[in-house]
Structure 1
């Protein structure tokens, strides 16, 4: 009977595991192999060059600028996005005025607010990037027009053309586009927390801030930790690539001020025909992602709370 059970389980697992190995594991292995070659990406002819690509990478100032920007993304974006999303979710679910017969409640119209916050997720990231590119336009953009309307016409930043501002402008777009997803995610988690916990805490004299740090955050921690890793992967991967590629000139911004590792991989692979070197940069990006995910899981490890 046991042997029949194992055959049944293996029969269900073998096909998805085979697909995973072919379409996920094997491309990773290929990328690592190509990072030790001088492959152009266009010709089947290439040779193994050992660690040449990695030595070149260590002496490449553009790589280090891109690496630094990616690290800023992965350290700043998840923290800011999750903090804003947690605050908004808490207000939507617990921060409203007391209703008749209930000690805690969300703000009025919370369902409508959730739709508004989630709206950027409906839009393609390419559309979002184009909209903000027009918004940041120094000549006809809404931001400089607003500054002019309130009497700050002398303050007309170049925004995406300023090496000191461009990176933060791009990051602001990613924050705006991702907060809504986590608001809905955290709201779903908070809705499952029994209201009795909050009512008991408030009867004991706890403030709203205390209930957040003592009740909401501990019981929602697993969701927050998963969102932290997910947001970090997004900030290192396709989202940062798409926004930077579309919004900034170069691409990579003025003086490479917005270049990130994912975009630098694209530039070397498809613009310069240096696929071998691009895969070496991709391996570095993979290591950064793994270190970030392992660090978050390690720092956030705590005893699981249940209710």
Structure 2
């Protein structure tokens, strides 16, 4: 009877959240899977099932493959750059000052720098996009080009209009915005490492580089795993920022085309909701596959501190 009462309380407590999650998260996924098997235009009351034809069409869609190539670049560069920069800054802020008394300390002004690094996180994505539109303007009124012109360093550069630069310019913005969050995440992980490890290694003559690679990095592996997955998921998104900076045409020459924007255009501009849903299903499975593979390939025995 006691067990029944306990489980009844748990079920009653979870019933509403689970119901809301089912309605607003699970249900749209199921509907997307269903729509991906149709040729529905989003307006007509007639829904014609076409089976797997939409998925077959993806193999001949150049825009789809261009979007996948851009996601591949994002997936390789965004997590790597963000994690490397965030790790370096976190180490400086928490352990870069060396030993002081009985413990380790960060560089001078660490608390102030934490606020500065985290500041981009409090800005809305649309605000960040508008801000960098001004920074990347392709004339001398742009912040970067204006600075280059002031020092006589060449003609204005089309940061968002040159095919070879557009995606990399956007990646730089994504890294800038994300680094602050991961500085906080990695700082929390470093704070959980017993300071005795660093003190003992320092007594044995280990320098800061050795402390980082021999103690900090191995003991942050689980935190790095989480950060890598989050950033990988972000690499499969990027809709709002790219929409603001480069528009929904993937300009220039498709160099900034990504699947979320392609899905949006296909559904609402071309009224091919069924085909757009098929792209959404592919994006869903790509994201899940990435997360699962990352968890499996980075799995290890838990380190007891």
Q: How far apart are the structure 2 equivalents of 1:103 and 1:32?
A: 55
Matching residue of 2:273? 275
Task: Give the alignment partner of residue 242 of structure 1, picking from 240, 244, 269.
Answer: 240
User: Quick one: distance in 1 between partners of 2:202 and 2:83?
Assistant: 25
Distance 2:59 2:150 in 1: 48
Distance in 2 (CA, whole Å) between partners of 1:231 and 1:250 is 22
- Paired residue total: 303
8 Å Cα contact 1:219-1:306 kept in structure 2: no
Point out the more displaced range, 16-25 or 50-59: 16-25
Q: Give 1:103 shift.
A: 5.3
Question: What secondary structure does 2:43 align onto?
Answer: coil
Q: Secondary structure at the match of 1:160?
A: coil
Question: Structure 2 CA distance, aligned partners of 1:40 and 1:124?
Answer: 32
Q: State how far apart, in whole Å, the 1-side matches of 2:271 and 2:292 are.
A: 33
Corresponding residue of 2:30: 29
Supply the distance in 2 between the matched residues of 1:122 and 1:175 (Cα, whole angstroms): 15
Which residue in 2 is equivalent to 1:251? 249
In structure 1, list runs of 5 or more residues that go unmatched.
none
Corresponding residue SS for 1:255: coil
For residue 16 of structure 1, report the CA deviation from its aligned partner.
2.2
Rounded to whole Å, the distance in 2 between the matches of 1:144 and 1:165 is: 14
Residue correspondence of structure 1 range 45-56 to structure 2 within 5 A: 45-56=46-57
Whole-Å separation in 1 of the counterparts to 2:103 and 2:230: 34
CA contact (8 A) 2:248 2:265 kept: no
Distance 2:99 2:254 in 1: 52
2-structure distance, mates of 1:206, 1:5? 53
Q: In structure 1, what is the equivalent of residue 198 of structure 2?
A: 198
Please state how far the C-alpha of 1:194 moved relative to its aligned partner: 2.0
Unaligned runs of 5+ in 2: none
Alignment partner, residue 12 of structure 1: 13
- 1:157 to partner: Cα distance: 2.0
1:299 to 275, 278, 297: 297
Q: Cα deviation per residue 1:131-177 (whole Å; 9 max; x = unaligned)?
A: 111111111211112222233124x3211110111010111110001
SS at match of 1:20: helix
Counterpart CA distance in 2 for 1:127 and 1:74 is: 24
RMSD: 1.5
Per-residue deviation at 1:249?
Answer: 4.2
> Secondary structure of the equivalent of 1:165?
helix
Instruction: Tell me what 1:163 maps to.
Output: 163
Structure 1 runs (4+) greater than 4 angstroms displaced = none
* Aligned 1:1-307 pairs, distance under 5 A: 1-99=2-100, 101-102=101-102, 104-139=104-139, 140-154=141-155, 156-237=156-237, 240-249=238-247, 251-307=249-305
Instruction: Tell me, in whole angstroms, the C-alpha distance in 2 between the residues paired with 1:35 and 1:278.
Output: 7
> CA shift at 1:261, angstroms?
0.6
TM-score (norm 2): 0.95
- Give the secondary-structure state (helix, strand or coil) at the position aligned to 1:104: strand
TM-score of the two chains, using structure 1 as the length reference: 0.94
Structure 1, 116-125 or 42-51: larger mean CA deviation: 42-51
> How far 1:11 moved relative to its partner?
2.4
CA contact (8 A) 1:104 1:199 kept: yes
